[in-house]
Amino acid sequence: MDVTSDRVNRVYASKLRLVKDMRQRSALREVSNMEAKLRTALQAVEQAVQDLATAEKNRAALEGELYRELASFDSLSVEELDRRCHIVTERLKAEVARARGRLEEVRDAQEQAKTSVLDARTILTKCSAASYKWQQIEGDVQRASDSHSEAEAEIEADDEVLLRYRSSTRTHTASD
C-alpha cells in the first residue's frame, strides 16, 4: 500500500500505522508459532531416528537369538526352523518398515515446517518494511503539518503587522 505523505493527514497516517503494527505483531506471532512447530518436527525426526535404530538393533539381536534357539532344537526339521525363522523375521522387518515410514512422515513434516517458517519470516519482513515506510510517512506528515502551522502563524503575524501598519497610516493620514 503506497501512499504519498502529502495526501495523508496525521490522524489517518497514525491509524494506518497502527494497522501495520498490528499486522507486524501478528506476523511475528506466526513466525514464533511456525518456529515452535519446526522445533517439534525436529524433535519428532530425532525420536523417529532413535526408534528406527532401536528397531533395527532389536531385529538383529532377535534374529541372532532366534537362530541360536532354533539351532539348539535338534528335533525340528529344517523346514520348521525356516518357517519359524521366517515368521519372526517378517514381523521384525515390518516393525523396521513402520519405523522407516514414520521417519519419512516426520521428515516431510519437518520440511513443511521449514517452508512455513520461511513463508512467515517473509511476511514478517514485508510487514516490517511496511511499518518502516509508515513511520517515514508519519514523519513526513508531521513535518508537513508543522510547516503548514508555521506558515499559517507567519501569515497571521504578517496580517497583524499589515493591519497595524494600515491603521497607523490611516490615523497618521487622518491627523495630517
Give pLDDT tens digits for 113-170: 889 888 888 888 887 887 788 778 778 878 888 888 888 888 888 888 888 887 777 6
Domains annotated for the chain, with CATH where assigned, are: 8-144 (1.10.287.1700)
Query: CB neighbours of 69 closer than 8 A, spacing ≥ 6?
Result: none
Answer whether 24's CB lies under 8 Å from 103's CB.
no
Angle 10-16-19 from CA coordinates, rounded to 5°: 145
The whole-model pTM stands at 0.52
Give pLDDT tens digits for 4-49: 545 567 777 778 778 878 888 888 888 888 888 888 888 988 888 8
